[in-house]
C-alpha cells in the first residue's frame, strides 16, 4: 500500500488490524522457546530414547527441538541422557561452559537426576551437583513422549515464567557469561524490563547528550512522515486516484 | 585342567624345588587352585611357565579379591592357561592386611608375563595392593586424584543422599528460607 491511499481514520484502523505490540522480552522468549536446539550428546541407554525423539514417529521438530547440533557453540539445550560417571562430569561441565547463553539443561532419567540404580563409587549422584538443571524427567528410561513433555515444560518456563530459571533457584545472578566490562553498563537481555535482583545497576540512569540528539532526530523524522501529502508531491501510479 | 591328584602332584613338585612356597590346594567345581604366599609368587609363576611338563605360558587374567573378615584378607588370583593341552590352573596369592596406614604388598609378575602390567594397575586402582617392581604403578580407571580403594569390602556402598522436593527442607542451607 502506498502513502496517502487511506485517510487518517481508515489508516488508524488498518494499523490496528495489522500490528501487535508486545515487549522485547516476550518476543525474545517466544523466539528462544520455539527453537531449543539440543547438543548432540548421548550418555547411556536414555540416549536411544532421545534419538527416537527426533524420528518421524515422535517428531519433536513440531516444537523446534529436532536440530541436534554437533557443536556446543550452536546448542541451546543439554540433555543429560544417562548416568554420569565421575570421570564424565568434568567433560559435561566443559561442554556446558562452551555453550552460549542462554542455555538450559534437562536431566533425563533416574540416573542423571539422582544416581538411579547406580548408587556406587563411580557415578555422580545427581547431575545438579555440577551443572544447574532446569528440568528433571523421571523414568528408566523415560519414553520419548516423556522427554518431549519435559521439553514442553521447559518451553513453558521460557515463554511464560522466565524468572523461574535456575539463577533464581540457585541465587546465581551476575553469572551471565561475557566480558565483565561489557556487562557493567549494558542492558542485559536476560534481565531487561525487570528489577535487578542483586541490586546491580542495569542500564544507564541518565541519557547522554548524544542519545538526546538521536531521539530528537527520530522525532522530527516521524513528524515529517505524518505530514499530509500535497497533490504534486505524491508518487505517480495507478492507485493515485483512490486517494 | 589338572584333576585333583594332578594338582597335588604340581604342588608337590613346586614344594620340592621351592620349600614351603605352596601353602595348600583347593579343588572346587573342577577348578584347580594353588594357594601361595606373597613372597613366592614370582618363583611359582616362573616355574609354572617355564618348567618342562608344566608350560602354563599364558596369563589369562590377573585379579584380586577381598575376603574380609577372613584372614589373610586379600588374594591376587592368577589364571594360567596351557594352550597346547587346554589346561587351566589358578594360583591364589594370599596377602595379609598390614593395617590402617599401610598397603598390602606382593611382587609384580610383569617380568614374566608382560600382560600383567595393566591388570596389576587395575588391582592397585581398586584394592590398593602394591606390586613391587611394577614399571608404572598408578591408577588406570578411576580419576587420578581419587581417594580410596572402592572395591574393598569396607568401602561404603551407595552414594550420597539425594535431595528431593519432599526432603529438601531437611537439608540445611538448601532452601532459601532455611
Residues A94-141 pLDDT 10s: 999 999 988 899 999 999 998 888 888 889 888 888 898 999 999 999
Domain termination residue (choose one: A112, A130, A164): A164
| Share in percent of chain A as helix, strand, coil (round to 5) | 45, 5, 45
Distance from the Cα of B161 to chain A's closest Cα (Å) equals 8
Chain-wide mean pLDDT for chain A?
A: 78
Residue A172 lies in a domain: no
pLDDT at A192 over 50: no
Instruction: Look at residue A69 and give its three-state secondary structure.
Output: strand
Residue from A115, A116, A120, A121 to probe the interface with B (highest B Cβ count within 10 Å) = A121
Which residues on neighbouring strands pair with residue B82, listed in sequence order? B87
- Helical residues (DSSP H) of B98-154, grouped into ranges: 116-127
Cell numbers 519414553 correspond to A143
Instruction: Please give the ipTM for the structure prediction.
Output: 0.74
Lowest-confidence region among A14-23, A67-76, A155-164, B25-34: A155-164
Q: Look at chain A and report how many structural domains it folds into.
A: 2
All 3 cell numbers of residue A200?
Answer: 546491580
Neighbouring residues of A11: CB distance < 8 A, sequence distance ≥ 6:
none
CATH of the domain at A33: 3.40.50.12280
User: Which segments of chain A are extended strands (E)?
Assistant: 77-81, 104-108, 135-137
Question: Residue A11's pLDDT band (boundaries 50, 70, 90)?
Answer: confident
Neighbouring residues of B124: CB distance < 8 A, sequence distance ≥ 6:
B130, B131, B134, B137, B138, B139, B140
Question: Do both A144 and A197 map to the same domain?
Answer: no
- Interface of chain B against chain A, CB under 8 Å? 142-143, 146, 148, 150, 155, 157-160, 162-164, 176
User: Which segments of chain B are extended strands (E)?
Assistant: 22-28, 31-36, 58-66, 74-82, 87-95, 105-107, 130-132
Distance from the Cα of B118 to chain A's closest Cα (Å) equals 19
A87, A121, A125: residue with CB nearest B150: A121
pLDDT at B53 over 90: no
Residue A210 belongs to what domain range? 180-230
Q: What confidence score (pLDDT) does residue B129 get?
A: 94
Share of chain B above pLDDT 70, in %: 93
Specify the CATH superfamily of domain B4-170: NADH:ubiquinone oxidoreductase Nqo5 subunit (3.30.460.80)
Neighbouring residues of A83: CB distance < 8 A, sequence distance ≥ 6:
A43, A44, A111, A112, A115, A116, A118, A123
- pLDDT single digits (tens) A14-65: 888 888 888 888 888 889 889 999 999 999 999 999 999 999 999 999 999 9
Taking each continuous run of H as one helix and of E as one strand, the counts in chain B are: 3, 7
Question: Do both A73 and A146 map to the same domain?
Answer: yes
When pLDDT is averaged across residues A162-178 and rounded to a whole number, the result is 66
Question: Do both A39 and A117 map to the same domain?
Answer: yes
- pLDDT single digits (tens) B101-156: 899 999 999 999 999 999 999 999 999 999 999 999 999 999 888 888 999 988 88
- Helical residues (DSSP H) of B35-102, grouped into ranges: 41-50
Residue A224 lies in a domain: yes
Amino acid at each position: 500500500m502506498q502513502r496517502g491511499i487511506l485517510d487518517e481514520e481508515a489508516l488508524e484502523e488498518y494499523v490496528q488490524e495489522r500490528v501487535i505490540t508486545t515487549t522485547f522480552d516476550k518476543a525474545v522468549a517466544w523466539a528462544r522457546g520455539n527453537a531449543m536446539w539440543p547438543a548432540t550428546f548421548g550418555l547411556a541407554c536414555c540416549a536411544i530414547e532421545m534419538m527416537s525423539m527426533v524420528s518421524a514417529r515422535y517428531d519433536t521438530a513440531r516444537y523446534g527441538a529436532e536440530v541436534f547440533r554437533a557443536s556446543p557453540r550452536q546448542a541451546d539445550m543439554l540433555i543429560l541422557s544417562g548416568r554420569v560417571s565421575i570421570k564424565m562430569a568434568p567433560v559435561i561441565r566443559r561442554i556446558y561452559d562452551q555453550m552460549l547463553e542462554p542455555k538450559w539443561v534437562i536431566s533425563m532419567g533416574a540416573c542423571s537426576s539422582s544416581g538411579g540404580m547406580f548408587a556406587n563409587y563411580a557415578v555422580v549422584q545427581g547431575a545438579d551437583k555440577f551443572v544447574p538443571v532446569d528440568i528433571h524427567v523421571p523414568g528408566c528410561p523415560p519414553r520419548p513422549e516423556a522427554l518431549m513433555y519435559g521439553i514442553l515444560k521447559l518451553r513453558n518456563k521460557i515463554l511464560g515464567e522466565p524468572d523461574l530459571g535456575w539463577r533464581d533457584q540457585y541465587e546465581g545472578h551476575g553469572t551471565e557469561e561475557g566480558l565483565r566490562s561489557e556487562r557493567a553498563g549494558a542492558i542485559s537481555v536476560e534481565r531487561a524490563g525487570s528489577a535487578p535482583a542483586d541490586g546491580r545497576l542495569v542500564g544507564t540512569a541518565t541519557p547522554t547528550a548524544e542519545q538526546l540528539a538521536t531521539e530528537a532526530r527520530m522525532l522530527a523524522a516521524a513528524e515529517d512522515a505524518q505530514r499530509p501529502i500535497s497533490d504534486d508531491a505524491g508518487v505517480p501510479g495507478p492507485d493515485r486516484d483512490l486517494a | 585342567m589338572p584333576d585333583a591328584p594332578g594338582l597335588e602332584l604340581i604342588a608337590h613338585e613346586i614344594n620340592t624345588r621351592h620349600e614351603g612356597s605352596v601353602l595348600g590346594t583347593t579343588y572346587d567345581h573342577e577348578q584347580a587352585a594353588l594357594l601361595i604366599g606373597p613372597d613366592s609368587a614370582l618363583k611359582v609363576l616362573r616355574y609354572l611357565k617355564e618348567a618342562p611338563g608344566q608350560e602354563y605360558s599364558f596369563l589369562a587374567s590377573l585379579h584380586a579379591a577381598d575376603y574380609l573378615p577372613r584372614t589373610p584378607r586379600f588374594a591376587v588370583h592368577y589364571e594360567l592357561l596351557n594352550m597346547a593341552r587346554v589346561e587351566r590352573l589358578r594360583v591364589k596369592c594370599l596377602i595379609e592386611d598390614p593395617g590402617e596406614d599401610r598397603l598390602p604388598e606382593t611382587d609384580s609378575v610383569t617380568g614374566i608375563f608382560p600382560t600383567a602390567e595393566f591388570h596389576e594397575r587395575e588391582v592397585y586402582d581398586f584394592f590398593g595392593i602394591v606390586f613391587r617392581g611394577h614399571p608404572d604403578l598408578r591408577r588406570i580407571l578411576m580419576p587420578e586424584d581419587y581417594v580410596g580403594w572402592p572395591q574393598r569390602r569396607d568401602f561404603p556402598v551407595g552414594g550420597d543422599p539425594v535431595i528431593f522436593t519432599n526432603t529438601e527442607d531437611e537439608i540445611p542451607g538448601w532452601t532459601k528460607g532455611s
